[in-house]
């Protein structure tokens, strides 16, 4: 796994001839008969041009050939997309569908059907990949009117006691969060930035009764746009290229004299905005009810969304901690039943076995796990808060005086933490609260899309679970570590029942040794290295291996004391041993 997005390409050495071709194509116009090549100007490169680049790039795909390949297309013309097939199957296709070397290739002595050798980089039009992924650029005419209508419904919506419309204060606009769940190249995000920035300056000038000079208007607008783009804009897209182009477009759209190089990597992420675990819960009474309404396939009980501003209700359980009727969704497909009836039956039977009402002991484990989820989530939230402050930039905003109370929320950091540290600690580190929560959510989501031919990996029928002797497991697989589970919550955050201040908290090894001397440490327990999900207890074992078995404090006051990423990281490294995580 590469350590960063460009690690592999950074190792490639480019010769002068290759660089000359690249620079020539970037800087000079295409060759045309009877006309000299001219220089390409990037002075007016803007959002629309980047959108066109984005849509063009989405039409292409690049792979490294794992075997010799040939290319086929309708009528042999790759201009509208083509497909790669193994070269040994070339004779299976009509000769008219084979893509042949073009005139440029012929000058290099290449003729006949186009071939790609094993290990060769293949870059070509991607058939219908763009259409099936809905990778299209939204033109400015549509983004502009959409954002205008949205602002119309957000501004000046409150009324006072007399029913008079209350004008939205300019400062309020700088608090808004802008989210583009289908980011693309950032067309909607940039349009929202532009209109919110212009509206802020218009309202602030009216509030102060002062106008910005024409000479300063552009710079002040760009500064407001830069603040909004860096601190208030979020975006998600499945396509990594789209996310990268969005970062470039936001940078170009907000550049101004004296601007520090921004970094949008914490806010603009590659991911799926439609599928994922969320903070939604079922009440305890619903989870244990004999009616079993939450796992019903039709007319089932939906979970209640739980905003981050609200605490977990007593006894509630998160949706992603419970088996779901949507698991193994392919088993409900008529086509799947027709093509793989036996596998579908196995998947359906597995899902039925998982959707059982928890007994008292199982529900107690679920409740405890839900509390640990909230505790880990609070650690992740604290890391996000510190990271947000770390990547912030000091950007002067017109009309936002330092002494004005309504602008006290503006981020004005004294120094900036390197982005590599923020990325490494949050997204790339293993065994952290973020990693553990994400792994559980990813597993819960993956079970919705489980392949029809892999039911054995779920119900234990796969050969991976078949061992001649259960005691032979440590010989066939790396032995699972001994996990010592303390019986008392005090080992987590205190000794002798009292919570210690952060600066007095002893290292975890010292705490465990101290408790062991008193004879209070729990029994050593070896968890299963591999867990087939045969029933609810198996799912709970997986959850506890990831999220722990020890209870957590009801109050999270300790977490608020962390004011640096280093201090928080040191604390997080001790959690697995304290909480009985694998």
pLDDT digits (tens, 9 = 90+) for 74-107: 898 887 778 889 999 999 999 999 999 988 788 8
| pLDDT reading at 137 higher than 70 | no
| pLDDT reading at 185 higher than 90 | no
* 316-328 pLDDT per residue, tens: 999 999 999 999 9
- Evaluate whether 320 touches 499 at the Cβ level (below 8 Å): no
Q: What is the pLDDT of residue 418?
A: 73
> Distance of CA 576 to CAs 234, 247, 419, 423, Å?
31, 36, 26, 21
* 190-231 pLDDT per residue, tens: 999 999 999 999 999 999 999 999 999 999 999 999 999 999
What tokens does 277 get? 């675990």
Q: Tell the residue number behind the tokens 């998160």, with chain if given.
A: 318
Q: What is the pLDDT of residue 510?
A: 41
pTM of the model: 0.74
CA neighbor of 540 nearest in space, from 469, 449, 440? 440
Taken in order 39, 42, 46, 50, is the CA torsion positive or negative?
Answer: positive
CA neighbor of 380 nearest in space, from 559, 566, 181? 559
Please write down the HEC assignment for all residues of 439-488: HHHHHHHHHHHCCHHHCHHHHCCCHHHCCCCHHHHHHHCCCCCCEECCCC
| Residue-range domain boundaries for the chain | 38-132, 140-270, 280-485+523-579
Q: Tell me the HSE value of 127 on the side-chain side, using a 13 A CA sphere.
A: 12
* 438-467 pLDDT per residue, tens: 999 999 999 999 998 888 888 888 887 775
């Amino acid at each position: 796994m590469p350590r960063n997005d460009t690690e592999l390409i950074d190792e490639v050495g480019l010769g002068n001839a290759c660089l000359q071709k690249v620079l020539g194509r970037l800087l000079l116009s295409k060759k045309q008969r009877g006309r000299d090549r001219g220089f390409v100007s990037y002075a007016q490169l803007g959002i629309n041009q980047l959108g066109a680049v984005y849509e063009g790039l989405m039409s292409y795909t690049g792979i490294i050939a794992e075997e010799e390949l040939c290319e086929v297309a309708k009528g042999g013309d790759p201009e509208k997309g083509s497909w790669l097939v193994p070269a040994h199957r070339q004779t299976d296709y009509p000769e008219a569908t084979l893509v042949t070397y073009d005139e440029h290739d012929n000058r290099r002595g290449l003729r006949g059907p186009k071939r790609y050798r094993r290990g060769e980089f293949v870059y070509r039009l991607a058939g219908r990949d763009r259409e099936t992924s809905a990778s299209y650029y939204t033109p400015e005419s549509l983004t502009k009117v959409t954002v205008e209508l949205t602002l119309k419904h957000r501004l000046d919506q409150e009324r006072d006691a007399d029913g008079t419309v209350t004008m939205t204060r300019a400062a309020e606009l700088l608090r808004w969060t802008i989210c583009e769940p289908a980011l693309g190249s950032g067309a909607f995000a940039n349009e929202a930035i532009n209109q919110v920035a212009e509206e802020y300056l218009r309202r602030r000038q009216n509030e102060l009764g002062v106008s910005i000079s024409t000479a300063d208007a552009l710079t002040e607008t760009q500064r407001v746009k830069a603040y909004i783009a860096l601190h208030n804009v979020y975006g998600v897209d499945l396509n990594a290229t789209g996310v990268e182009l969005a970062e470039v477009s936001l940078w170009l759209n907000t550049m101004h004299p004296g601007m520090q190089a921004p970094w949008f990597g914490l806010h603009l992420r590659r991911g799926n905005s439609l599928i994922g675990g969320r903070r939604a819960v079922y009440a305890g009474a619903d989870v244990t009810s004999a009616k079993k309404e939450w796992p019903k396939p039709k007319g089932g009980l939906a979970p209640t969304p739980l905003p981050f501003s609200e605490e977990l209700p007593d006894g509630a359980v998160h949706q992603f901690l419970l088996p779901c009727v949507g698991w193994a969704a392919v088993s409900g497909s008529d086509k799947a039943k027709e093509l793989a009836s036996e596998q579908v039956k196995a998947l359906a039977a597995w899902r039925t076995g998982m959707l059982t009402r928890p007994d008292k002991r199982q529900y107690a484990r679920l409740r405890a796990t839900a509390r640990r989820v909230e505790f880990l989530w609070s650690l992740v939230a604290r890391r996000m808060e510190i990271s947000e402050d770390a990547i912030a930039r000091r950007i002067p905003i017109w009309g936002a005086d330092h002494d004005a109370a309504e602008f006290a929320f503006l981020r004005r950091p004294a120094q900036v933490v390197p982005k590599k540290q923020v990325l490494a600690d949050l997204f790339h580190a293993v065994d952290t609260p973020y990693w553990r929560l994400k792994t559980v959510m990813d597993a819960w989501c993956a079970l919705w899309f489980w392949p029809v031919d892999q039911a054995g990996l779920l119900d234990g029928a796969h050969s991976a679970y078949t061992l001649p002797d259960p005691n032979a497991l440590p010989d066939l697989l790396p032995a699972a570590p001994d996990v010592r589970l303390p019986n008392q919550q005090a080992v987590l955050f205190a000794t002798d029942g009292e919570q210690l201040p952060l600066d007095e908290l002893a290292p975890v090894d010292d705490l465990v040794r101290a408790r062991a001397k008193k004879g209070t440490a729990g029994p050593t327990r070896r968890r299963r290295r591999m867990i087939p999900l045969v029933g609810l207890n198996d799912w709970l074992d997986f959850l506890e291996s990831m999220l722990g078995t020890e209870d957590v404090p009801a109050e999270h006051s300790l977490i608020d004391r962390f004011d640096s990423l280093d201090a928080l990281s040191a604390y997080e490294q001790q959690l697995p041993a304290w909480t009985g995580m694998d």
